[in-house]
């Protein structure tokens, strides 16, 4: 049986922290589906199709990945893809309570789907898409936090 995980997120934009989780997750899973939740209520810097493009470009050298977007409940999406697990990264203690609540709810909704947490590498401990966008919007240097293709797009988007 193939071990398949879904790595959900907004990826707005994709960061080196995301890539780190995927690289390490590939050691545990045969296939990872990197999936963007299409959430119209959340104001994103990039539309879903552009985020998918940045994900594909940023992770093109990692085998065993597919990229997708979805609507609705994560556990329903996981089962529809034939996956058994949700892969999540955790940075700080502040992530724990929220992620723990989500994992418990997902477990209640579908006991066949497991949640696997990987601690973010120390280098990426303080990076998040939100913080990176905020820093970039004020002219901060984010070049060591996002891949070059993402950096170009963030800079171009924020110039408008």
Digit-coded pLDDT (tens) for 57-105: 999 999 999 999 999 999 999 999 999 999 999 887 677 888 899 999 9
As annotated, the active-site residues are 18, 42, 91, 129
Please report the pLDDT score of residue 111 as a whole number.
Answer: 95
Please report the pLDDT score of residue 97 as a whole number.
Answer: 84
Contact present, 125 and 95 (Cβ < 8 Å): no
Please report the pLDDT score of residue 156 as a whole number.
Answer: 94
pLDDT band at 124 (very low <50, low <70, confident <90, very high): low
Based on the structure, what is the number of domains in the chain? Answer: 1
Using a pLDDT cut of 90, give the percent of the chain over it: 78
Higher-confidence position of 125 and 75: 75
Give per-residue pLDDT as tens, 43-56. Answer: 899 999 999 999 99
∠ Cα 147 41 152 (to 5°):
20
Domain that holds residue 154: 4-159
Give which of 160, 142, 157, 148 is closest to 60, Cα–Cα: 148
The CATH number that applies at residue 62 is 3.40.50.620
Please report the pLDDT score of residue 43 as a whole number.
Answer: 86
b (16+ CB within 10 A) / e for 112-126: ebbbeebebeeebee
In this model, does residue 16 exceed pLDDT 90? yes
- What DSSP designation does 155 have? H
Please report the pLDDT score of residue 51 as a whole number.
Answer: 97
pLDDT band at 15 (very low <50, low <70, confident <90, very high): very high
In this model, does residue 10 exceed pLDDT 80? yes
């Amino acid at each position: 049986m193939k071990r398949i995980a879904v790595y959900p997120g907004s990826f707005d934009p994709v960061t080196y922290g995301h890539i780190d989780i995927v690289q390490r997750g590939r050691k545990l899973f045969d296939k990872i589906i990197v999936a963007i939740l299409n959430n119209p209520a959340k104001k994103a810097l990039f539309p879903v199709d552009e985020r998918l493009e940045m994900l594909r470009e940023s992770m093109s050298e990692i085998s065993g990945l597919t990229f997708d977007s979805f609507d609705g409940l994560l556990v329903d999406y996981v089962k529809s893809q034939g996956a058994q697990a949700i892969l999540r990264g955790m940075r700080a203690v502040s992530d724990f309570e929220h992620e723990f609540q989500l994992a418990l709810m997902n477990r209640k909704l579908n006991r066949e789907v497991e949640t696997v947490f990987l601690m973010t590498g120390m280098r990426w401990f303080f990076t998040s898409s939100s913080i990176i966008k905020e820093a970039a919007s004020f002219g901060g240097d984010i070049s060591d936090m996002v891949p070059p293709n993402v950096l170009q797009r963030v800079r171009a988007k924020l110039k408008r």
